[in-house]
Chain A
Amino acid sequence: MRAASASFAAACLVGAAATCAHAEPIPTLPPYTAAYQPQGVDERGLWMEFDEFERTLRDSKAVINDPALMAYLRGVVCRTVGSSRCETVRIYVVRDASFNASMAPNGMMVIHSGLLLRSRNEAELAAVLGHEFAHFELRHSLAQFKRRRTAGDIVAWVGVAAVGAYAYGGANTYSVIRNAQSVQTAVIGGLYANGREQERQADLLSMAYLKASPYEPHCFADLWNRQMNEADATARGRKQRSTRYDRVAFFATHPTSLDRATYLRAIASETGKAGDEGQVSFMTAMTAWRPEFLDDQLKLNDFEGTDFLLGELAGAQWTPDLLYARGELYRGRGNPRDLVSAIGFYREALSGNATFAEAYRGIGLAQMRNHDPAGVDALKRYLSLKPDASDRAMISMLVQ
């Protein structure tokens, strides 16, 4: 199965990716059982574990408890997978700036705020949430749990055999141990290969949901293309070699982003469907939260990646909140030249929104750091625009 997918990807790369003729068929939607109850010892045990986890997560401070945001996300899930399927889902948004989401076997869906920051429209978000729901519907956690247990058993027994050969073996000791090690490697490799196959199946089922939904199916591939560029930017900033997208690593849990972008784009073209991107509704729903999500992203200490992401979010038009975030990013790195750039971004933010108090704060702090006495006036302006600022005491000390 994996070999087939790899050769398929290669074929697409040779031709123009978007017009690759033979896309993999997406599955027809399986019949859905409402209020499914776990069966057997293993599945009931897994559900129990995640029920316990969910009880803890529900009361966690990391979870965003905003009724408006929750209602919007529920709407997205329901429009993606259909109203009967979405009834089983409980959604939790956690404050985590990484690009991720997950779904537990008991129907607990966890969305990282980093995914909400990076999605450009409702269709992209729908594609990822559909992928997570597909893991749930296909009961992937249970299958992988069983496989991991079997793999662990084999690795343990083969290990004992190797130990036995070492303790009691004669002339063949070396070859027994070497064979034992290859068996262990093969079993572990198979486990990861199966995990990647599950991801691919979830991608395909997500495309099936998208086909039946009001959303535009091409958006899923767009997300992966941008993800690769962001990862490259992060690697560049950290002076690391970027990820290889043309081959699969032994311990890779997912197919490469390039592989996914390629087969998802081909499938989307095959469906011949033009749907709704839902950009306006998405941006409206995120208005209140984007400054918070940007703030979390800035704390990742990922200058290049964040700068790239801000550019992606801005597109052709830099809005005051993005300009302010960029100012904070440059001020955070803090070289004298960065402070000059930061002041420029804050000023641009102010030309879009003249009462942006935090931008004055940024200007003031950056100017003071570069020994510019004008900084005091900017900080005073900040305090007059935001008299109840949480850092009032600290800033007041600076302006005296």
Chain B
Amino acid sequence: MGAQSTGGSFEPNADWTAQAKDNLGVALAAAQTKLGNEVIVAEEPVGQSAQVMADYRALFAVLAQSVITYQFFPGNRLPTKKRKGAFEWTLGPGVAEIAGGSGADYALFLTNDDEYGSTGRKMLQVFAAMGGVSVISGNHKGFAGLVDLRTGDLVWLNADLQMGGDVRTPEGAQKRVSQLLEDFPGSTAPQPAAK
């Protein structure tokens, strides 16, 4: 979480990040009731399992990026992903290790990356537009993925490179979580996309 300076560089903001973490945690707990599943927030692991967790977090990031690049855009699909309705991506069965005997069936990975355009950036945007040049102010990316811990298969992935909801506020965080978990498998009442 942070701001985007006039020149477009990222300015990390510790307070916003802390607020967003709290708000998203609360919003996620509230959204649970609609998911048809019990969601437990993973404790930070120690020792050997910390390395395993770090490995799979990195692997998930690569996998999610591959899905976004090679599956979500039909024109760019790999030949093996072209069959209609096919969604075949996996982290491999070894991922069961990250459950660490907790009895969890699925792992839910959430990522948010927010840069709010500063006042200077917005002014630059206006003036550049007057000159006929488009300047993007702000950057709001997020994705959520669900992995079946028995097989390692990615069962569902939702990615949005222009997310709504100001996660610095509780209401915004709720909107963000409902967007992230839109069409979550097994959810009882799919949330309408409120953008």
Residues 148-164 of A, flagged 1 when their CB comes within 8 A of B and 0 if not, give 11011111110010011
Q: How far is the CB of A131 from chain B (nearest CB, A)?
A: 25
Q: Which of B7, B55, B124 has a CB less than 8 Å from the CB of A149? A: B7
Q: How far is the CB of B130 from chain A (nearest CB, A)?
A: 7
Question: Would you call A167 and B131 a contact (CB within 8 A)?
Answer: yes
Within 8 A of A (CB), among B119-149: 120, 124, 127-128, 130-133
Q: With a CB–CB cut-off of 8 A, which chain A residues contact B132? A: 163, 167
Pick the most buried of A41, A148, A152, A167: most chain B CB atoms within 10 A of its CB: A41
| Stretch of B9-17, B33-41, B68-76, B186-194 on the interface side | B9-17
Question: Would you call B127 and A160 a contact (CB within 8 A)?
Answer: yes
Within 8 A of A (CB), among B52-101: 53-55, 57
CA distance A154 to B55 in the complex (A): 41
Within 8 A of A (CB), among B1-28: 2, 5-9, 11-15, 17
CA distance A154 to B11 in the complex (A): 16
Q: Does A371 count as interface, using CB distance less than 8 angstroms? A: no
Number of A-B contacts defined by CB within 8 Å: 71
CA distance A48 to B8 in the complex (A): 20
Question: Would you call A163 and B131 a contact (CB within 8 A)?
Answer: yes
Question: Would you call B7 and A155 a contact (CB within 8 A)?
Answer: yes
Interface size class of A (residues with CB under 8 A): 20 to 34
Question: Would you call A48 and B53 a contact (CB within 8 A)?
Answer: no
Instruction: Say yes or no: A61-B51 contact (C-beta < 8 A), given A152-B7, A156-B8.
Output: yes
Q: Does B161 count as interface, using CB distance less than 8 angstroms? A: no
Known: A45-B2, A149-B5, A160-B128. 10 other contacts (CB 8 A): A38-B14, A41-B13, A44-B14, A45-B12, A47-B14, A56-B57, A149-B9, A152-B7, A153-B120, A155-B7
23 contacts between A and B (CB under 8 A): A41-B11, A41-B13, A45-B12, A48-B13, A48-B17, A56-B54, A59-B50, A59-B54, A148-B9, A149-B7, A149-B9, A152-B6, A153-B5, A153-B6, A153-B120, A156-B6, A156-B7, A156-B8, A156-B124, A157-B124, A163-B128, A164-B127, A164-B131
Residues of chain A having any CB pair with chain B under 8 Å? 38, 41-42, 44-49, 56, 58-61, 148-149, 151-157, 160, 163-164, 166-168
